[in-house]
Each structure stands twice: as structure tokens, then as C-alpha cells.
Amino acid sequence: MPERRCEVCGEANDPAARFCRVCDAYLGWDSGAATLDGEPLAGEVPTVVEAVETSAVPVMEHSATASGAASAEASVVGEPPAPAEGAAPEASVSTESAPAEASTAPASGPPAGRIEAPEAVLDSAEATVAPGAPASVVLRLTNPSSIVDGYRIELVDPPPWLGFAHGDAHLMPTQELAVPLELTLREGMLVLAQRVALTVRASSLADPTRSTEVALHLTVPPLGPNASLEVRPSLIRLDDQAAGEFTVRLDNRAANFPQTVRLAASDTEEVVRFAFAPAVVTVPAGQAVEVVVAFTAPEPEPGRELSRQLTVEAGNDAGRTAVPVTLVQRTAAAPVDAPLRVRVEPQTLRIERGNLADFDVLIDHRGGHAERTVTVSGRDPGRAIGFAFSSEQVVLEPGAVQRVRGRLSAPLPPRGETAQHPFTVVVSDGMQDAEASGLVELSSPPEPILTAVIDVEPASQLVVNERHATFQVTVDNRRGFEALEVRLEGESEDGTARMRFEPAQLVVPPGGVAGARLIVEAPRPEPSESATRRMRVIATDGLRSIEAPAALTQATADRRPIIGRVLVILGGILVIIGALAEWFAGFTPFLPSIELIGAIARGQVNLADLALTEPATRTLVLLFAALMLLGMIGRSGRLTRFAAILIVLLTVGWLVFLAIVAVVPPLGFGLVLVWVGAVAGFVGGVLARARG
């Protein structure tokens, strides 16, 4: 057998289990069987209409109850706890064997002697309680203490629906006593079938911390009759209708366990169809539920009345209940059908792309009262249109509007022209025809090249010191209805620009855009000049073409002033380095001293003294180098060129002087650097001049 699932917590249990192993809810084992013909029934709880108060709250969620609180208040030895309202009276407790001094707990401290927890054993750990049938259990207590002691016996966190009483519990040292325990169900609520785990605690009155607990399993068995069955109304009338509904009421308020039943219905002719929502119903304990049952029955002939006997049944393996229901049906006389009406939507079809069009045929049978079968067809005067329908044969229900999808195809007119074709849709049942007219208008799109647009971005572009430029060419076919295949070409007005496209051919889908790169190569103009190349970008399909203008402006910057300044700076640096380096191999250069300058001023120096002329020459070279660099301030470069010439003339003239007066020693690298720097500075001065 399949596992049994708890309807409270959903836990799976063994097939033979009585109570859920998690929440101890009743599973249905000998009453209210949840099986039918041996097969398990999994029911749903429908709308609850009435209910009685039940012990539906889980036991473990209760705090200390009134019964437990009353037991806790009994602090005097020999006084049993007062029963809660509605509970059975407790058994009397005898106090004759208890000494007088043990009737109350001493105030100054615990009594002299050894106090230990009592020994407690239940004769049976299982008990069954029912309304009017309390459960009796014997608790055997033993006093292991050395004093006479009384014991408080109570349930730990009992459920609110449980009453508890016990007999006398005063024992002499080492005495054993059988204390009767009585458990009853309180009145005023329906206690559900369940199994409860209880804890019985026996505490010493002399020292309440000395206590012993024992476990007791209490079972509330399932009690009550099968759920009653009632059908409302018991007499059903249908006028000109084939469908109706009634309500099934299942009353389980007298039982403390849920009952699952399967609902079924039948009629003597076996022509009525029933729909239960749901068909398998679980009626919770203490509740009444209602289920709406829909049914359909064939209508009698027009103008007649018919009575049918129905039987509604609810049952399971525990028992079955059946209730009769009477169904009376009456139909009016057959009305006269109105003619069919047909409409085409839309009435005018405009096709701008292709030669196919879809439309709807609305067949109006709202004026009819009987089912009709019709055929749908189309025709046109020129017999140029082909028709197709989603259903060529249609069954029309009375009072309904049927929609049929239609499609037609017509020949295309020449490109760029429009043609119109009238047509008619015919709906016929073999005896009567209904027609609706329509019009299809076809437009043949022009060549895609005629609706395409070519664009160049940017339309004009400026480049400096460059031979190449890149443009983006876009072919727009968003207004076209066909794919456009074009080849890109280009030409410039002066013929100096070379144009290359990547890619050179484009396929542009209808409604789309495609692009290519345009790379233009043209010779650069002269320095400080510019040139504008005007071009045409052409897209052609081989027969027709479209074009867009573009312009490329090239400018060449004059780099001569920059190069001139670099040469002047470089030449000045070389002249300065050369002036400070050795001019003759083996001689250490030196600068004029203050004494030499003074001697020259007094005219006391012999010009033939070579050692004295070299420092003066170096000084003049440094001075002219500074003038050469200062010449960059002006735009003509005249001072730079003049200073460079003076440097060369000075050093060459000085060497000629040395050659005439004495012998010229071997030259060092210093003079070479001076001459190279002077030449560089002169060239830089020439380049610094603005172009005339």
C-alpha cells in the first residue's frame, strides 16, 4: 500500500499508522476511512460553512493551562488541585496517614532528615480517554526519604481540554503507594482524535526541587457518525438550458475525526454529465462543507417538458450515503431563424509589398436558433484572384459570430503602378447564399535604387600635412521593399584624388542601411598652401545611380621656420662648445685674464705675441655666438646670418694672421665645431626668413 500522508503537517507515515509520527494528528484507521475499494483517497477541503469549537490548536504550543495552574497552587499536603471548570470531580484524598506536622511546609527551612526524589512508575504508559469515559492510570510511588513526605502530582503543560485528578499521595519513609490518576475530557468543545505525549511529575512537598517525571501516552479515539449528506435544492428546474448546478453539503460536526469521501452522481438514463469541484472531499472534524456541482443534460425537444431522476452519492470504504434529486427541464418552441449576415474586414485591402493579403470573414448567426453548416468561397469578375480560407466548411452555433481567416493573391501591376480588383465572398448552406464584397488595391514598388539615399559623412573634411583622408559612405534603403545591390564609385573634379571603397559593393536589405569606408588619396599642396578637392560619390546598380557630394581640403604647414630655429640653437651650442674647446693640438685653451685686458688697454701688449691673441679671439667668438642666438627674436634671421658670417670671418682671419706672423700649429676640434656651428646657424637664419 502507498504511504499515508498527514493532512495537518504533510509528513509521510506508514500505511498502517493511526496517528502522524510528527504532530500526532489522527490519520483515519478504523473510522472515516480515506480509501475507496481499497484505493487511497486524497481529498481537498472545500468551502467551510459551519463549524463547532474544536481542540485544533497543537498541544505543544500551549502554555501552562488552568488545570496545571490549579495543580501548582495546591501547596498544602493532602489538598489535591481544584478541577478546572467543566472537568470531572477529582478523587478524594486521604490524609489520615500523614502526620500533623507534615500538613504544611516549615517556614524556617527544610525538615531534618534526608529528602530524596520519589520513585514513580506507571502501571501502563498508554491510556485512552473519551467523552464520558475518563482514563484511569495507577502511579506507584515509593518514598526513599528518611522523613514522612507528601507529593504533588501534576501534568507538565497539559492541553486545555484535559482534566486531571489524583488520589492521596502521602507516604511514610520507604513506603510504596498506588496512587490512582484520572484524566477526563472537558465539556464545551469537540476534542479531535489524536495521540498526546504527556509528562506526569511527582514533586516532594518538603523540597519541591526533588521530583520525578514519567511519560504517559494518551489517545483520544475517533468517535462520531459518518458525515451526513444533503443536496440543495432537491428539485431543480431548467428552462431552455442544458446546464445547471446544485450544492452538496457534507456535515461532520458530530465526529472528532476528518472524513474523506468521493462524490458521484448518476441518472437513470445515463445522459447527464456531472462535474464536482472537487470530486474527492475531506471534511474536517467538527465542520460542515459545501461543494458546488455543475451538470449538463440534453434538452428535450422544443416545446416539451422532461423529468429526470438523479442520485448523488458520497462514500468510502467505511460507508456510503445516497440522496435523490429531481431535475425538470422544459424548452420553448423552436424559433424562426433569421438569414445569415456576412462581412469582410477590412473591406478594402491595400498591398504595398508583395501580392498576398489576409482578411477576416465574419459570419453572423446571432439571428439563428439552430446549428447550421455552411461553406465559404470567393470569386472576382476578372478571375485573376486566388482565394484560400482557414475553414472552407464551418459549423455555426446559434447566436454566435464565427470568424474565418481568408487569404488572396492577385497579379502585381508594372513597377511603380497601382491596380484595383473587386471581389466577393460567398457563404452558402446549400439553400441560401449570403455575400460580402471587398476591394484589393495592389501597388508595385519602384526600383529600390530610386528610393535609396546615399550619404557621405563628413560632407567636407580638412586635413593638414596628410595625403590620405577617410570618409564614411552610407546607403539607406529604409524606404525600399526589395534588397538593393550597388557598386560604389567616385571621382574628383580636378582628377587629382584617388578614391577607394572598402567594400566596393554593398547589399542593402529592405528597410535597412549599409555602409562602407571611402579612402581618398591626393598629393599635398605646397608648404603654406591649401587645396580643396571636390568629389562625387556614386552608388549604381548597373542601370541607375545615385550620388552625393564630398569635399576634401588639404593644407601643408611651412616647417622651414621650425627647422631654422632648431639649426640656429644647435649652431649656437656648437659655437659655444667650440670656443671653449682646444683650437690647436697640444695647446690648452684659456680665456683672457684681467691683467691681459688691462695691458691691451694701455697698449703694452705686443700683437705678435700669439699667446695673447687667442683669448681675445675666443671672447669675440662667444660674443658673436650670443648674437647669433639673439637673432631668433626677429622674423628675418638677418642678425643670425650676420653673426654666423662674422664668426667664420673672425676665425679664418685670425688663422691667416697667424700664418703670416708665425706658423699655424695643427688644428684641434674646437675650431671645427665653431665653423660647423656657424654654418648651421647661417642655414637656420636663411630658413627663418618668411617666404616672399
CA distances from 356 to 128, 342, 408, 582 (A): 84, 22, 6, 101
pLDDT for residue 623 is more than 80: yes
Residues 321-343 have pLDDT tens digits of 999 999 999 998 767 778 889 99
pLDDT the model gives residue 610:
54
> Which H or E run includes 677?
helix 669-687
Among candidates 244, 241, 247, 235, which has minimal Cα distance to 308? 235
Please report which confidence band the pLDDT of residue 301 belongs to, taking 50, 70 and 90 as the band edges: confident
| C-alpha to C-alpha distance for 32 and 224, rounded to whole angstroms | 9
Q: Global pTM?
A: 0.41
pLDDT for residue 399 is more than 60: yes
Q: Which domains does the chain have, with CATH numbers?
A: 62-105+112-220 (2.60.40.10), 228-330 (2.60.40.10), 341-443 (2.60.40.2310), 451-556 (2.60.40.10), 560-687 (no CATH)
C-alpha cell read off for 612? 695673447
DSSP H stretches of helix in 538-559? none
Q: What is the mean pLDDT of residues 400-429?
A: 90
Among candidates 323, 249, 333, 235, which has minimal Cα distance to 290? 249
DSSP assignment of 531-543 equals EEEEEEEEEE-SS
Residues 205-234 have pLDDT tens digits of 989 999 999 999 999 999 888 889 999 999
- For 293-338, the three-class secondary structure string (H helix, E strand, C coil) is EEEECCCCCCCCEEEEEEEEEEEECCEEEEEEEEEEEECCCCCCCC
Q: Give me the amino acid identity at 473.
A: V
Count CB atoms within 10 A of the CB of residue 198: 21
Q: How far is CA 358 from the centre of its chain?
A: 37
DSSP assignment of 172-240 equals -TT-EEEEEEEEEEPSSSBPPSEEEEEEEEEEESS-TT-EEEEEEEEEE---SPPPEEEEE-SEEEEES
| C-alpha to C-alpha distance for 506 and 386, rounded to whole angstroms | 37
C-alpha cell read off for 49? 460553512
Q: How far is CA 600 from the centre of its chain?
A: 100
Residues 40-60 have pLDDT tens digits of 777 788 888 788 888 754 433
pLDDT the model gives residue 344:
93
What is the number of residues in the chain?
A: 692
> Which H or E run includes 611?
helix 610-630
Cβ neighbours for 591, distance < 8 A, ≥ 6 positions apart: 615, 618, 619
| C-alpha to C-alpha distance for 10 and 322, rounded to whole angstroms | 31
| C-alpha to C-alpha distance for 461 and 305, rounded to whole angstroms | 95
CB 579 within 8 A of CB 670: yes
Q: What is the dihedral sign for C-alpha 572, 577, 580, 586?
A: negative
pLDDT for residue 531 is more than 80: yes
Average pLDDT, the chain: 81
